[in-house]
Chain A
Amino acid sequence: MEYLATIGVLIAIYVILSSSYDLIIGYGGLSTVAHPIFFAIGAYTAGLLAIHSSLPAPLNVILGGMAAMVASVLLAASALRVSGDYLLIASLGFQLGLLQLIKNLDFTGGPGGLTAIPGTVTGAARTPFFLVVSGLLAVATVLGIRAIVTGPYGRAITAMRDEELAFTALGRDATSMKIVIFAIGCGIAGTAGGVYAYYFQYISPDQFEVLQSAAILTMVVLGGMGTTFGPVVGAILLLAIPRAITFLNLPPSIMAPTQGIIFTVLVLLFLFLRPAGIVGLSRKTL
């Protein structure tokens, strides 16, 4: 049960990450590979505050999200001033540079990471508690993003992605809109990081490597980029199915590669069968 609940928490956190990533790349049309580092900023901020301050845990999680948001605004505002393509390069540099910094600073625990983050909730109720909290956050994220991308705001996002020049010449500030979308997405990732730190009580730099964005991107693409529930389906499938075989009691030397193979086969299968994603409709195949 404990194992299942942990997967549940992990799925909820990845639903938050993939949904917020989809907001940025799918809806916003912005290229970034820095999602893991904003996840890390939230995790480290919340973790450090939990260790060194006596602030309440929910506040620390929120502060983690806000730290990620502030960092993302600084990155996007400077990169988008140049051009949209520059954001991809800047995000890569930011991702690699900041993670390198985290690995080499003392107060972040260096390569060993941050250990002994206070648990806040203890005893038998701990895992169910985190399952509920992360689950509610995931639901709030998906519904919140849905509220953004439907209605007038979503219409403006679509117009910006369709034809940015015409959009701007109609009096819309595309750059500000991109920064807002980027900041919301990264802030959500940071919040997820805070919950992650509190739940696992241990974070290390290798959990936030740039390759994480490939995993999150796969969830988004597989589920359906630019759809509300696509990233949810993608996160659940790619986390749950490879782990389902852990109940077969295979030795670890076989288990790990098999999980990788299942992940890869799933991705290839769906890319052939549903190129627009599982949730993506045929309207995408215009």
Chain B
Amino acid sequence: MTAVLRTEDLCKRFGGIVVSDSVNLTIDRGEILGLIGPNGAGKTSLFNLISGVLRPDSGSIYLNGEAIDAAALYRRARLGIARTWQNMLLFRTMTVLENLLIAPRSYPGESILRVAFARAAVREAERHARDRAMTTLARMGLEQTASEMVVDLPFGQQKLIGLARTLMNDGPVLLLDEPMAGVEGAAYETMQRVVREEAEAGRAVCVVEHNVSFIRDLCSRAVFMANGKILQDGTVAELIASSALTELYFGV
């Protein structure tokens, strides 16, 4: 089986700090890959390299077998690499629904020429996007928040909105940066269920997470990173059983 996403000898350093040291990573279709490691291990930097926020010093990234190294951040999103952010980066002056409507991969209403000359097509796309946004919100039980300002919601719901917004991009790759940080209760259950559903629908999912039980429940495979290096790649049970890694990570 060819990996949906593959990195090849990905290297990146900032001065003396190596954030990515020959990282070779694959994520398969329908898989939820856990990415764990101590703070500063280079997990988020790896997401930044894959999504195009950062440019690697060397190495390549392949999406469905094709190199995407030349593609800018926004183009990679259009190719279907969707990601969330540790601090969510929601559009703060907008409603929940508006946040989601910014996220589909193509959107004719955001071309000034189409707005001027193809109003019917824009209206149609708008209606379609609204339907999808409401369906996505309904999956999380948040449809009643659609017209609320996103900053007025409790933190856990904001995290879910961050995920919902990313899900409007229906591409093959989903990168989740600490989706569970600060999330508890009902939102926790919802997050877990939706991530699992996305993988079952065939997406390649990668999760950076410190919540080990979340990783254990969801991931069949996990990768342990430290100092920009992948130290171990295996089942979650294997990683947890490895005393050397536990020491590095938990300091015990």
Contact between A172 and B91, CB atoms less than 8 A apart: no
Contact between A165 and B89, CB atoms less than 8 A apart: yes
Q: A162-B91, A168-B73, A169-B77 are in contact. Are A153 and B109 (CB under 8 A)?
A: yes
Flag whether B105 is at the interface (Cβ < 8 A): yes
User: Hey, which chain B residues are within 8 Å of A171, CB to CB?
Assistant: 74-75, 77-78, 103, 105-106, 169
Q: Which residue numbers of A lie inside 8 Å of B, CB to CB?
A: 147-148, 151-153, 155-156, 158-159, 162-163, 165-174, 177, 180, 184
Question: Min CB distance, B25 to chain A, in Å?
Answer: 19
Contact between B112 and A153, CB atoms less than 8 A apart: yes
User: Hey, which chain B residues are within 8 Å of A170, CB to CB?
Assistant: 74, 77, 82, 102-103, 165-166, 168-169
Counting chain B residues whose Cβ lies within 8 A of the other chain, the interface size class is 35 or more
Most buried by A among B53, B78, B102, B109: B102
How far is it, in angstroms, between the C-alpha of A162 and the C-alpha of B51 when the chains are bound?
20
How far is it, in angstroms, between the C-alpha of A167 and the C-alpha of B90 when the chains are bound?
9
How far is it, in angstroms, between the C-alpha of A148 and the C-alpha of B92 when the chains are bound?
21
Most buried by B among A163, A171, A173: A171
Flag whether B122 is at the interface (Cβ < 8 A): yes
Contact between A169 and B91, CB atoms less than 8 A apart: no
Q: A158-B91, A158-B94, A163-B92 are in contact. Are A169 and B101 (CB under 8 A)?
A: no
Contact partner, B112, options A155, A163, A184, Cβ 8 Å: A184
Closest residue to B97 on the A side, CB-wise?
A: A155
Question: Min CB distance, A4 to chain B, in Å?
Answer: 35
Question: Min CB distance, A24 to chain B, in Å?
Answer: 14
Chain B, 87-138, CB within 8 A of any chain A CB:
89-94, 98-99, 101-103, 105-107, 109-112, 115, 122, 125-126
Contact between B90 and A156, CB atoms less than 8 A apart: no
Can you give 24 A-B contacts (C-beta < 8 A)?
Answer: A148-B112, A148-B115, A151-B122, A152-B122, A153-B115, A156-B110, A158-B91, A158-B98, A159-B98, A162-B93, A166-B89, A167-B91, A168-B74, A169-B77, A170-B74, A170-B102, A170-B103, A170-B165, A171-B103, A171-B169, A172-B110, A173-B74, A180-B112, A184-B112
Q: Which 9 A-B pairs have the closest CB atoms?
A: A152-B109, A171-B77, A166-B89, A162-B91, A171-B78, A156-B110, A159-B102, A159-B91, A170-B103
